Structure 1
């Protein structure tokens, strides 16, 4: 996932560059490391954090930090080249949906035995899952963000919705009230919900007790055609049909057009989005700043939040690092409460701390903090990328079902078969 300042719905990847490497005077001789190289993604951590972190590490250890901020463009190819070289960096950032693929190539150090020094007991379950392959842990959670329901406080108040919905049924009721209160506006959408928002679909599937796939004996099989997963699709359709008279197209996702641009038109009551999307809408339309808030995606069970996809990044040490011990000290410092609180203050779910009190200083942060403990990730396997990056079967199934091109049974069976084929 992209950094929390620019988190987008899509696959994550490691930010690295071919040039630059950690140096040591020993090459295995036992003398002390003098420098480590740290590669983080553009937008992942504010400079106030990294400046303080690097200064404290250098002062405490007498080791220089060669800190390099990397760009997203071309990162997959750069990763492949850098980790295969004899001079990889010492600390790297990986998107949490791709950590498994790099761990599977034996280019990441196994940190299972070191988890305790990185506050392993404080990791959220979903974040721990994202870096665990075959029972071994190949990284440390860095940060995450999850979707919430971003809404116009003025419009909900005018529609007679006194408080944020606490169940899916209350949510649909609020949508209907918004529609009724704005019936004179033919362009109004109570909930902007494109037909292919598959990350949100996951919340509904998980909330119903379903999943994308299951693993048995090392083999992955699609499970989108189970009764529980079908119920998630039905819940999506109920929200889609209720959202507006003039619905969002069924064959697009939240990125085309950017839903924050649609939200900023003033004709939308709610959207299911990420922090950067609200920030973008407010930047384009400043008066939204005092008219917006957020609540967690409601569960079908009143008073509970639906499981959410935790998009974000992990930190790892390349297997070929010459300075692994120093790199572990760096990760231990970054994992401390001091720096995790700084991440939370910046608007991210901290990776190695369950204390999200700093995140709760804003309504959106509070909504994220409330729902993140119930977060999950996509199947942790190197083969998942073939599902997400290809002809995404979840998107295809949504469009076919919402438009009536396929029945629910046929759409979910075809999607499940496609997942099995891609991951088989």
Structure 2
């Protein structure tokens, strides 16, 4: 999960060079045009993704089934990966299978450097693809990425504090959530450092859940471009509920920064916070401050406005792609078919991830925190599949500016959403 947090922050920052990226290699090679091929299949996966035990067994099985083929498996580092991928994908001899962040996929697809996998979806276990990640692998009506794995947020809470405050069960609606915040304040509010919910002002990944739950969205596809919709009624309602949570909890989290600055798990580990919105792996970070907090922590799905119906969640994760210039496209697809099957996706679940191409999450469900994440992932979504979305996250993010302006009272909800809408349109609207 810690690796995934780096993915969310870093994968979206990609800026692609356009020169030379629309190559047409691979089609004249025998192994790229229908033959089974011999030689070497080069696979790039990122550090911290699939466990060594999984990839070792996978590569051994693949080689045994393809006489004369050797898998050259290479682990890549996130630091500097954007430029490395850009260079490799623009070349005539790229790797054959590559893991990319789900927010990177549309950008690469738009550059013409990824193989169109639309006709192969059924062969690649498409019936079991996680819906939210499936969308992140699509661009302009075609499929370029196979879902690999994902993670999503949930509400992590102190079970002992809930019990002491007389809360017998986690909330299942926004109203119950606000009511529980009131109960926690009544019990522990005499401590000026106590916070029922730690919620940073620019935590836009969490904001997405409230926007989607109220029927809003960030943007809608408009041909190959996108039209921002942050000024819709549903989006405004989501922003208003975010402010309700911030005001009700009297959180001391900065209104002009996000969950990483300061690191929210560290704040939770200090023992003065009853809840925060995060991923299961953040509990391990909190435990560095207080080892006992692991056993004290429970989780529940981010509540929605309707009781018993959790809010949708943002899915962060990875896709698997085949470069358009690969000399071994058919072998690459067979490798993806094997990796995306139940056998290896079940092992991904055992490693703590939501598998991208399997409905079997029994291994993940053995962990109470993982079980909540897995259940919520079924109602997961991706950010708009704009090839320019990386510019949103790596630059002056309009969603962050909108949150800060509204939460600090510098702008009304109408002003904040209108300005954010205009700023977002300038980035992804063309």
TM-score (norm 1): 0.93
Find the partner of 2:220 among 209, 214, 220. Answer: 214
User: What's the counterpart of residue 338 of structure 2?
Assistant: 333
Structure 1, residues 75-96: CA drift from partner, whole Å, max 9, x if none?
1111111111111001000100
Q: Does 1:183 align with 2:189?
A: yes
Q: What CA distance in whole angstroms lies between the structure 1 residues aligned with 2:217 and 2:144?
A: 24
Whether the 8 Å CA contact 1:5–1:43 is kept in 2: the answer is: no
Find the partner of 1:250 among 255, 262, 265. Answer: 255
Could you say what secondary structure the match of 2:360 adopts? Answer: coil
Q: What CA distance in whole angstroms lies between the structure 2 residues aligned with 1:108 and 1:336?
A: 22
Q: Does 1:149 align with 2:155?
A: yes
Equivalent residues in 2 for 1:20-419, closer than 5 Å: 27-28=29-30, 32-62=37-67, 63-244=69-250, 246-419=251-424
Structure 1, residues 20-57: CA drift from partner, whole Å, max 9, x if none?
xxxx9x95386832211110111111112111111211
CA shift, 1:420, in A, is 0.9
CA shift, 1:4, in A, is 3.9
Q: Does the C-alpha gap of structure 1 residues 10 and 367 become closer, same or farther in structure 2, counting only changes over 3 Å? A: farther
Whether the 8 Å CA contact 2:12–2:390 is kept in 1: the answer is: no
User: What's the counterpart of residue 18 of structure 1?
Assistant: none
Whether the 8 Å CA contact 1:147–1:273 is kept in 2: the answer is: yes
Q: What CA distance in whole angstroms lies between the structure 2 residues aligned with 1:7 and 1:153?
A: 30
Q: What CA distance in whole angstroms lies between the structure 2 residues aligned with 1:323 and 1:218?
A: 30
Which sections of structure 1, spanning at least 5 residues, go unmatched? 15-23
Could you say what secondary structure the match of 1:190 adopts? Answer: coil
User: What's the counterpart of residue 19 of structure 1?
Assistant: none
Structure 1, residues 312-352: CA drift from partner, whole Å, max 9, x if none?
00001111111111111111111110111111111111111
CA shift, 1:265, in A, is 0.5
Q: CA RMSD in A?
A: 1.9
Runs ≥4 in structure 1, deviation > 6 angstroms? none
Which sections of structure 2, spanning at least 5 residues, go unmatched? 15-25
Q: Does the C-alpha gap of structure 1 residues 82 and 10 become closer, same or farther in structure 2, counting only changes over 3 Å? A: closer
What is the count of residue pairs matched by the alignment? 413
Whether the 8 Å CA contact 1:13–1:94 is kept in 2: the answer is: no
CA shift, 1:272, in A, is 0.3
CA shift, 1:208, in A, is 0.2
Q: Does the C-alpha gap of structure 1 residues 293 and 7 become closer, same or farther in structure 2, counting only changes over 3 Å? A: farther
Could you say what secondary structure the match of 2:378 adopts? Answer: helix
Q: What CA distance in whole angstroms lies between the structure 2 residues aligned with 1:52 and 1:254?
A: 37
Q: Does the C-alpha gap of structure 1 residues 84 and 291 become closer, same or farther in structure 2, counting only changes over 3 Å? A: same
Whether the 8 Å CA contact 2:202–2:404 is kept in 1: the answer is: yes
Could you say what secondary structure the match of 1:97 adopts? Answer: coil
